Amino acid sequence: MTNAEVAACFEELADLLELEGANPFRVRAYRNAARTVAGLAESVETLVDEGADLTELPGIGKDLAEKIACIVHTGTLPQLEELRAKYPTGVLDMLKIPGLGPKKVAVLFRELGIQTLEELRAAAEAGRIAGLRGFGKKTEQSILEGIEHLQTAIARVYLAEAMPVAEAIREDIASLDCVDKAEIAGSFRRRKETVGDLDLLVTSTDSERVMDRLAENEFVEKVLQRGETKQRVRLRMGLEMDLRVVAPESYGAALAYFTGSKEHNIVVRRRGQERGLKINEYGVFRGEKRVGGKTEEEVYAAIDLPWIPPELREARREFEWAEQGRLPKLIELRDIRGDLHMHTTATDGTATIEEMIQGAKARGLRYIAITDHSKRVTMANGLDATRLRKHWKDIDRVRGRISGIDVLCGVECDILEDATMDLPDDVLAEAEFVVAVLHYGLKLPREQITRRLLTAIENPYVDAIGHLTGRLIGRRPGADVDYDTIMKAAADNGVMLEINAHPSRLDLDDLHAMQAAYDYGIPILINTDAHSVGGLDVMQFGVFQARRGGLEKRHVANTKPLK
DNA sequence: GCCGTTTTCGGCCCGACTGTTTTCAGTCG
Ligand SMILES: Nc1nc2c(ncn2[C@H]2C[C@H](O)[C@@H](COP(=O)(O)OP(=O)(O)OP(=O)(O)O)O2)c(=O)[nH]1
Ligand SMILES: [Mg+2]
Ligand SMILES: [Mg+2]
Ligand SMILES: [Zn+2]
């Protein structure tokens, strides 16, 4: 039972309770529990087995602690099963339609007995929905469009994919004379690995002009919603964008609001309440009087906290840290000196040794390791001992004529399904850098995954483990890694763990990078795994993930000089 | 359902947009 699975139970229960018309704060408690569990680096299953006191976790009381234990032991909750029996899964599907929330879905289910999206479509087409209390012709029409849209709607988008579009739109809006500031906020500013939409904050005294300009932008397909201060549009790429326009004096408060996260905002506002203040997107108010909000610093100062970096604003540990003046000084891209994982045309890269070295040098790196694939990765033309030794000779020749950057003859060695290394020790011993990885057999049971990873970690020639779980964000889950065992072994054996910076990997993720660095003292590497010169530019995404995990420069080995 | 040196009961963030409504509920950010 993974943390994600436990969290999913609570999420589903929250949705079902909402349909039942339960107390919204009780529903929130379940959602908070889901978030707490999902945000835990340690496995709740282990915690339960060890008899840990779960009520020490934020938002988990006696009741929820028992429910967690019940889910871990039985896979579900009696209460959840009862509600599932009452509301078929198709009812929950209806909640995905924009504009349909728990109240409306409950009406459709109760009054018309609608249980699936198909039945909902039929009812709307037959005109049976308009006329229900709270439903009219427009709602009926928007339901039909909503069902249609669900079929083609895109999932969350990689931050890296959203970035060029976001930046282009931001610049266009910023070029208007009436615009003071334009910033992308939301999950984008918090540097989450994927974004559900883009949130553009603009300060201006002419919101009409700003909204018109966005509506005309070449990336925009359609205006979905428009009011006095905000507009929602759908971009041609499928992603949607929220535009919020406020007056310049509200910049800080609005940026804080729109950056979120939602849960972070709730804590900020609660701390405001406790101090007799009201905090909203327009400012900080004592009664009618505005007492701050021009900058984010003012907002945080009003609740007796230092400014908190956006990457940490997830209502995890940041308030505790800020309160104690222990906010980490987060690593920055410019701290990175080396990149110890990349490929060339020797295997599945598209650039030569020389091009990769020059590319790295042009990006200001002082050292790199060239780590082409080992033979098991036949698809990528992986190298056997003979070809690898020849490749290293080639690298050695090229590095000899390029000054200003150190180049290591490395290898990305597969950890085979039978828990042996893809290359013999005598070859690995000759390597100047070895990053060991799982590529195949990711679905093997936890015990075998552990055995394989331990083989690599205990191998004297392995320097680091790359993309530990092998997850591909939004496409496939990673291997079932026993983090505690693996991290303890890595710490004991002096093996580093990688944050693979590729936008679809980011593996280690933020939570486990934090666990490795803070709980186990394991040096972290942030590597690009570049397969082309341009691939070296993804380093920033690895740094973002590290920042979200609270990592400082000191935690990251490739900020240090090559020894 | 959680939580607390102001509370162990009674709060729980705050506001915009839409559509349905005759004054506001629902949904969403
Ligand atoms: N105070 C407050 N702010 C909210 C609430 N919901 C959303 N926000 C703020 C914080 C969010 O980061 C910001 C943008 O909302 P989004 O729905 O786009 O969420 P976000 O960008 O965080 O994640 P996303 O990747 O879009 O799913 O609006 C809320 O219920 N209360
Ligand atoms: Mg967003
Ligand atoms: Mg949004
Ligand atoms: Zn690689």
* Range A455-474 burial, b when 16+ CB lie within 10 A, else e: bbbebebbbbbbbbbbbebe
According to CATH, where is 1.10.150.110 located in chain A?
3-154
Which ligand 1 atom lies nearest to the CA of residue A156? 25
In this complex, the nucleotide whose C1' atom is nearest to the CA atom of residue A23 is B1
The ipTM value here is 0.96
Q: What is the fold of A157-245?
A: Beta Polymerase; domain 2 (3.30.460)
Express each pLDDT in A235-281 by its tens digit. Answer: 999 999 999 999 999 999 999 999 999 999 999 999 999 999 999 99
Which positions on chain B have an atom < 7 Å from some protein CB?
1-3, 6, 11-21, 25-29
Interval A321-357: pLDDT, tens: 999 999 999 999 999 999 999 999 999 999 999 999 9
Q: What is the pTM of this model?
A: 0.96
Kind plus residue range of the DSSP H or E element containing A109:
helix A102-112
Model confidence at A210, pLDDT cuts 50, 70, 90, reads very high
Distance A28 CA to B13 C1' (A): 13
Q: How far is the CA of A341 from the centre of ligand 4 (A)?
A: 6
For residue A242, report the distance from its CA to the centre of ligand 2, in Å.
8
For every residue of A39-73, DSSP letters joined together read: T-SS-HHHHHHTT--GGGSTT--HHHHHHHHHHHH
Specify the pLDDT at position A555: 98
Cα(A263)–Cα(A259) distance, integer angstroms: 11
The fold adopted by the segment(s) A3-154 is DNA polymerase; domain 1 (1.10.150)
Q: Which residues of chain A does CATH 3.30.460.10 include?
A: 157-245
| C-alpha to C-alpha distance for A306 and A318, rounded to whole angstroms | 11
* CA–CA separation, A83 and A19 (whole Å): 10
- Ligand 1 atom with least separation from CA of A261: 12
CB atoms under 10 Å from CB of A364, counted, come to: 11
Name the nearest CA neighbour of A19 among A71, A72, A84: A84
Q: Are A433 and A408 in contact (CB under 8 A)?
A: yes
The reported pLDDT for the residue numbered A260 is 96
Query: Is the CB of A261 within 6 Å of ligand 1?
Result: yes
Any ligand 1 atom below 6 A from CB of A159:
no
Cα dist from A415 to A418, A420, A421, A422, A528, whole Å = 8, 6, 5, 6, 20
Q: What are A146-202's pLDDT values in tens digits?
A: 999 999 999 999 999 999 999 999 999 999 999 999 999 999 999 999 999 999 999
Nearest by Cα to A249 from A308, A204, A304, A307: A204
Look at ligand 1, atom 11, and give the residue with the nearest C-alpha: A260
pLDDT tens profile A182-193 = 999 999 999 999
Q: What are phi and psi of A163, to 5 degrees?
A: -60, -50
The integer distance in angstroms from the CA atom of A134 to the C1' atom of B25 is: 8
For the cut 90, the answer to whether the pLDDT of residue A119 exceeds it is yes
pLDDT in tens, A503-522: 999 999 999 999 999 999 99
Distance from Cα A196 to the centre of ligand 1, integer Å = 10
Give A243 CA → B17 C1' in Å. 13
Q: What's the CA-to-centroid distance between A211 and ligand 3, angstroms?
A: 16
Q: How far is the CA of A462 from the C1' of B12 (A)?
A: 52
Q: Which of A68, A42, A43, A73 is nearest to A55 (CA)?
A: A68
Distance of CA A467 from the midpoint of ligand 4 (Å) = 9
The atom of ligand 1 lying closest to the CA of A281 is: 1
Residue among A510, A535, A533, A525 at smallest CA distance from A559: A525
The residues near A419 (Cβ < 8 Å, ≥ 6 apart) are A448, A451, A452, A454, A455
State how far the alpha carbon of A43 is from the alpha carbons of A3, A312, A449, in Å: 6, 22, 16
C-alpha closest to that of A60 among A79, A73, A50, A47: A47
Q: Residue A104 to residues A23, A84, A113, A121: CA-CA distances in angstroms?
A: 16, 18, 13, 15
Report which residue is nearest nucleotide B13 when distances run from CA to C1'. Answer: A266
Spacing of A244 CA from B16 C1' in Å: 10
In CATH terms, is domain A333-559 a member of 3.30.530.20?
A: no
CB atoms within 10 A of CB A504: 18
Q: Which CATH superfamily is domain A250-323 in?
A: DNA polymerase, thumb domain (3.30.210.10)
Ligand 1 close to Cβ of residue A258 (< 6 A): yes
* Residue A380 CB contacts under 8 Å (≥ 6 apart), including other chains: A343, A347, A348, A373
How far apart are the C-alpha atoms of A478 and A440, rounded to whole Å? Answer: 11
A98 lines ligand 1 (CB under 6 A): no
Residue A193 CB–ligand 1 contact under 6 Å: no
Could you give the residue range(s) of every CATH 3.20.20.140 domain in chain A? 333-559
Give the CA-to-C1' distance from A30 to B9 in angstroms.
Answer: 21
Protein residue whose Cα sits closest to atom 29 of ligand 1 = A262
Confidence of residue A563 (pLDDT cuts 50, 70, 90): confident
Q: Which ligand is nearest to the CA of A347?
A: 4
Statement: residue A209 has pLDDT above 90: yes
